[in-house]
Amino acid sequence: MISGMAVWGGVGWLLDQWWDTRVFFPVGVILGMAVAIYLVVARYGAVAPPSGPQRNGRTPGGRRSRPRTQKGQR
């Protein structure tokens, strides 16, 4: 996150020096921080689904399980 602030803050500082203004450096630092936070959340923010028993009608060996019937039916 520090590198994002440094890179975009540096770009803002260069624009401030070139155009003789004082607004692009803080905007660059904030933009760099926002992009860095977004990238961290996009990369590491997703939670993996729980790894529980699968309900797809197959046994762990790959064979199909017998269909379930109500009591008294065959």
Please tell me whether the overall predicted TM-score, pTM, comes out greater than 0.85 for this model.
Answer: no
How much of the chain is in helix, strand and coil states, percent to nearest 5? 55, 5, 45
Say if 51 falls within a structural domain. no
pLDDT number for residue 6: 94
What would the pLDDT profile of 18-61 be if each residue is shown by its tens digit? 999 999 999 999 999 999 999 998 888 876 666 665 555 555 66
Q: Give the burial class of 9: count Cβ atoms within 10 A of its Cβ; 0-12 exposed, 13-18 middle, 19 or more buried.
A: buried
Domain coverage including residue 6: 2-44
Say if 7 falls within a structural domain. yes
Say if 24 falls within a structural domain. yes
What would the pLDDT profile of 26-36 be if each residue is shown by its tens digit? 999 999 999 99
Say if 54 falls within a structural domain. no
65 token code pair: 């399980």
Count of domains observed in the chain: 1
